[in-house]
Structure 1
Amino acid sequence: MKKIITISLALLLFFSCARKYSISSVFRKGVPADMQQWKLDSTYHMYIREVFLDTANPGDKSVKNNNETFSTSDKLIEIEYLLFSQQSGRAVYIATIPDKYLSYYAKKGKYLPRQYLNAYDFSTFRFGKKTDNEDEIFFANAKHSDTWKYRIEDDSVLHVHEVVERINGDANVYLVDEALSRKASFIKLANYKIAFRNMDKERKLEKKKRGRKPDERFSKDSIIYYRNDGGKYSIYFRFNKSLPKNYKDSTISFGNNRLVNAPF
């Protein structure tokens, strides 16, 4: 079955403001034997999709289609990341928590520079792989799968132009250019780092202690760890400093309900 939708691409958006991670102690004695690894090696590139409130047309949203500079009037409300290695044919899509009340990303001091993926804001994850056909990324779980058809423009922007969704064998085709006023365009960045910074807490502390250096942590090894416990997955990110200060642990975890598509 083929249809054109007018509401949303299959990029999942969640509107809760609550943080989704937990601090984990599972690495206190080293890497557990049943822990698997998704290594983000040097072949991965990071593509970022930023959705802004369109100040010229109240109520509308816009997406930057290239590396144009945003103006002071732009209000950033959503950030999505695609970590993609064409060499290994593997991809990780990470959605952050949308800022529908314009109280977080819309204030530039509340988010890190573009090249940092702040795990504090991570919400949901999709793990996929490139298909045998060129320019397709496939995401799947037991009953539901999506195939993103894309093209890369000038080695700088990845445009998703069609999504094929299959639920229990039935296929729906979403033509992105006709379905969305906001393009599904991901801008390629030259460098990236996975970081962790509690922006809500840190900003309050900085106001109390002027000149205080922010607590910013970076990925310890550029690896997404995951384990499968009877079909339920958990994923983990390790950092180079404890979370928060004076804690024994420097790892955060996300439960099975945060994974739209598990690693495979």
Structure 2
Amino acid sequence: MSPERGERVVFSVRDVDFFYGNKQALFGITLDIPKHRITALIGPSGCGKSTFIRLLNRMNDFIPNTSVRGKILFEGEDIYDPRTDVLALRRRVGMVFQRPNPFPMSIYDNVAYGPRLHGRVSRAELDEIVERSLRWAALWDEVKDRLHESALSLSGGQQQRLVIARALALHPEVLLLDEPTSALDPISTAKIEELLYELKSRLTIVIVTHNMQQAARISDITAFFLNGYLVEVGPTSEIFQRPKKKETEDYVAGRFG
């Protein structure tokens, strides 16, 4: 899919195959991800959504005996070029996982962890980064009086927003989210969705979700994966109301998955 005229592409994925050993998991994926939009990846379990999103900041590198063919360009640069600085890539392309994974340290230290790791930062600068990141994650008002308490004392929904704040502390250009609300209650899910909708003015968001209502509510672009193939991609309203492919129509209608 080509983005709308004048819309800037952040990731350009071309003819990408991915293998776990000899087993092929993705087949010829071609997809453009536009800037300052929310792109939702939908499809049944095991269809390749999580594998694909992890390609975008090379998280699959941690899995032994995997391989990639094709091109993934981020801001025009091939991220699988041997000269790529992978740590720098992951600073620019942050990731949040399915289950909240705060570090066993204070709320403050969770958010400050990345900036401390990546450079010398004064306490005043850290204070500013922590407050700004927690505000962006819509968590500041709930935790500002308990910043030095353990992050593990927070509720599940608060922990997930803390993890988002931790990612935002590094000023990423893209935020990848792999089913970030699947372990949360409906109220926490609604808060995360509202947060993501507000964040897209600052960065580009790609979200894997099993919740088709969620994709319909918050995304601008929806991509439907099935059995390792990208079946269809387009504006979310079209995918849900006027899909071009029979498989897409059957999936969004709940006939399988």
TM-score by length of 1: 0.21
**Larger fraction in helix:** 2
TM-score by length of 2: 0.22
